[in-house]
Amino acid sequence: MNKAVIDPSPTDWNGHIMQKRIASRYAAERRFKAMGFFAVALSTLFLAFLLFTMLGQGLRGFQRTELAVEFDFPALTSGATAASVTGPNADAALNSMDIPGLVELAVGQQYAGLGDSLLTSTAAANVRQMLIDNPELVTSKQTLWLPADSRLDVAFKRQGEPAAEKTVAALSEKDALRTGFNWTFLTGADATDPSAVGIWAAFKGSLMTMAITLLLAFPVGVLAALYLEEYAPKNRLTDMIEVSINNLAAVPSIIFGLLGLAVFLTIFGLPRSSALVGGLTLALMTMPVIVIAGRNAVKSVPPSIREAALGIGASPVQVVFHHVLPLALPGILTGTIIGMARALGETAPLLMIGMRAFIPAAPEGFTDAATALPVQIYLWSDEVNQGFVEKTSAAIIVLLIFLLGMNALAIYLRNRFETRW
């Protein structure tokens, strides 16, 4: 038999060996804590780096380079008056003025020898709009600032092609270039020329898609959550519904795109790349998120409220729709906004149903071909033209502002209205 050998002398806590051991244990403690701090700091730094990169590049996307072009309107238009470009005949009068020709002539006279495409493709349309806004212009000699060509834009803001840099240097000497706010970017649509692109069409497409998604996913999600929490009997069907919802919440988004392609486009024959199909697809994806958030909100309503309502003679349906649902609504709304924010940033399923087409105008109806903001970002990121880099980042800034706004709203709603029982 072995006898355990016990050292009868007490541990010498202040001895050299023990002190060294404790020091090394404390060092390990500090190292571990530092590692934790490092992990959090690294994640934060990555986020900060990402945001700064996007801001640094994107802010330039909201600016455009403008070129001063002098128009001697009385000479160019052979005496058009302010009255002739207003009123019902304005369109015909402006058309007969051949504005693209005027612009070409004016630029050719002033900047001879600096290449032929100094202005962006929409410059003539800009002049036309200026004349409509202010018909008085046409009676005198005017200097108009028109958006410059994308190559010059890139060269003026940062390093561009050598030829464009040369032109920019020559123009800068004449003080003919300035930086202005790029309104076209907020009001325009996709274009092949980066200095003429805008995000309004994609943004409108996103809004329409989101409208369909909300319209379908919110009622269905809330009703399903109420059924599962309040009425569902414990049986096979209920189990199947629960498994389906938990599974749908974790299915990769691209699979929903495949479903949309196979079912909505091929079987139902709905119009390809429309906001309707995009909204339907995203609604299927968002619905489980709303159901899960809704169930948690409904669950947190205390049973005493239900019992009180039942006690004074309300029917089960009245209990839920008159008492439980209004109390759970802030929580449900918070979950809905978060789900909608996720859907707004979603790209892959929309690519599957063809929302990646080149859409040069904002969609008018729900069945028109449309694109969405994240898809537009993806499409621009694929462009070779250097001018698209800053436009992509600028579109990302717009998207992030909206997402942060939605999330902030959700947090506000949660803090303002959620009752702790």
Partner 1 sequence: MTGTALLFLVLGLGLIGWIFGRARASGFVRKAKGGPRGTVNSLPYYHGWFVAICSVAPALLFMVIWQSLSPSLVTNMVLSAPIAAELPQDTFARAAILSEARAIAQGFQATAFQDMSDKLVPLYKGALSYYKWLGVAATLLLLFAGGAFAFTRLKPDFRARGKVERVIMFGLLLASLIAIITTLGIFASLIFESWRFFSMVSPFEFLFGTDWNPKSVVTPGADNGYGAIPLFWGTIFIGAIIAMVVAVPLGLMSAIFLTQYASSTVRKWMKPILEILAGVPTVVYGYFAALTVAPAVRDFAVMLGVSNAASDNALAAGIVMGVMIIPLVSSMSDDSIAAVPNAMRDGSLAMGATKSETIKQVLLPAALPGVVGGILLAVSRAIGETMIVVMAAGYTANLTANPFDTITTITVQIVALLTGDQDFGSPHTLAAFALGLALFITTFFLNYVALRVVKKYREAYE
Q: What is the footprint of partner 1 within residues 238-277 (CB under 8 A)?
A: 240-241, 244-248, 250-256, 258-259, 261-263, 266
Instruction: Candidates 33-41, 65-73, 83-91, 164-172: pick the segment binding partner 1 (CB under 8 A).
Output: 33-41
- Cα-to-chain-centroid distance, residue 408: 15
Q: Cβ(123)–Cβ(103) under 8 Å?
A: yes
Question: Which C-beta is closer to partner 1: that of 31 or that of 141?
Answer: 31
Question: Which C-beta is closer to partner 1: that of 76 or that of 394?
Answer: 394
Q: How far is the CB of 340 from partner 1 (least distance, A)?
A: 12
Q: Cβ(210)–Cβ(380) under 8 Å?
A: no
- Residue from 114, 403, 409, 413 that binds partner 1 (CB under 8 A)? 403
Q: How far is the CB of 309 from partner 1 (least distance, A)?
A: 14
Cα–Cα nearest to 125, from 201, 202, 189, 60: 189
- Angle (CA) 240-241-243 rounded to 5° is 65
State the Cα–Cα distance between residues 381 and 388, nearest whole angstrom: 7
Question: Which C-beta is closer to partner 1: that of 32 or that of 181?
Answer: 32
- Residue from 346, 363, 386, 391 that binds partner 1 (CB under 8 A)? 346
State the Cα–Cα distance between residues 350 and 371, nearest whole angstrom: 8
- Cα-to-chain-centroid distance, residue 306: 41
State the Cα–Cα distance between residues 264 and 273, nearest whole angstrom: 11
Sheet strand arrangement including 141-147: 141-147, 63-72, 177-181
Q: How far is the CB of 241 from partner 1 (least distance, A)?
A: 5
State the Cα–Cα distance between residues 285 and 339, nearest whole angstrom: 9
Q: Mark residues 201-240: x for contact with partner 1 by CB under 8 A, - for none.
A: ------------------xxx-xx-xxx--xx-------x
Instruction: Candidates 142-150, 169-177, 326-334, 399-407: pick the segment binding partner 1 (CB under 8 A).
Output: 399-407
Phi and psi, residue 69, nearest 5°: -125, 130
Where residue 67 falls (left for φ over 0; alpha for ψ -120 to 50; beta otherwise) is beta
Q: Which of residues 11-30 bind partner 1 (CB under 8 A)?
A: 25-26, 28-29
Instruction: Candidates 69-77, 169-177, 304-312, 313-321: pick the segment binding partner 1 (CB under 8 A).
Output: 313-321
How many chain residues interact with partner 1 (CB under 8 A)? 83
Q: Which of residues 41-60 bind partner 1 (CB under 8 A)?
A: 42-44, 46-47, 50, 53-54
Question: Which C-beta is closer to partner 1: that of 69 or that of 201?
Answer: 201
Q: Which residues pair with 369 in a beta bridge?
A: 274
Question: Which C-beta is closer to partner 1: that of 232 or that of 305?
Answer: 232
35 binds partner 1 (CB under 8 A): yes
State the Cα–Cα distance between residues 374 and 354, nearest whole angstrom: 14
> What are the structure tokens assigned to 390, written together?
């800053």
Q: Which of residues 366-385 bind partner 1 (CB under 8 A)?
A: 374-375, 377-378, 381
Q: How far is the CB of 229 from partner 1 (least distance, A)?
A: 11
317 binds partner 1 (CB under 8 A): yes
Question: Which C-beta is closer to partner 1: that of 48 or that of 92?
Answer: 48
Question: Which C-beta is closer to partner 1: that of 81 or that of 385?
Answer: 385
352 binds partner 1 (CB under 8 A): yes
Q: Cβ(289)–Cβ(342) under 8 Å?
A: yes
Question: Which C-beta is closer to partner 1: that of 58 or that of 135?
Answer: 58
Phi and psi, residue 3, nearest 5°: -110, 130
State the Cα–Cα distance between residues 373 and 88, nearest whole angstrom: 37
Q: Which residues pair with 119 in a beta bridge?
A: 148
Q: How far is the CB of 48 from partner 1 (least distance, A)?
A: 9
Question: Which C-beta is closer to partner 1: that of 183 or that of 268?
Answer: 268
Q: At what angle do helices 275-299 and 200-226 cross, to 10 degrees?
A: 40
- Residue from 315, 358, 415, 419 that binds partner 1 (CB under 8 A)? 315
Q: Which of residues 105-124 bind partner 1 (CB under 8 A)?
A: none
Question: Which C-beta is closer to partner 1: that of 74 or that of 345?
Answer: 345
Q: What is the DSSP letter of 235?
A: S
345 binds partner 1 (CB under 8 A): yes
412 binds partner 1 (CB under 8 A): no
Q: How far is the CB of 407 from partner 1 (least distance, A)?
A: 6
State the Cα–Cα distance between residues 269 and 17, nearest whole angstrom: 80
Question: Which C-beta is closer to partner 1: that of 93 or that of 285?
Answer: 285
If residue 67 lies in a helix (H) or strand (E), which one and from where to where?
strand 63-72
State the Cα–Cα distance between residues 287 and 354, nearest whole angstrom: 22
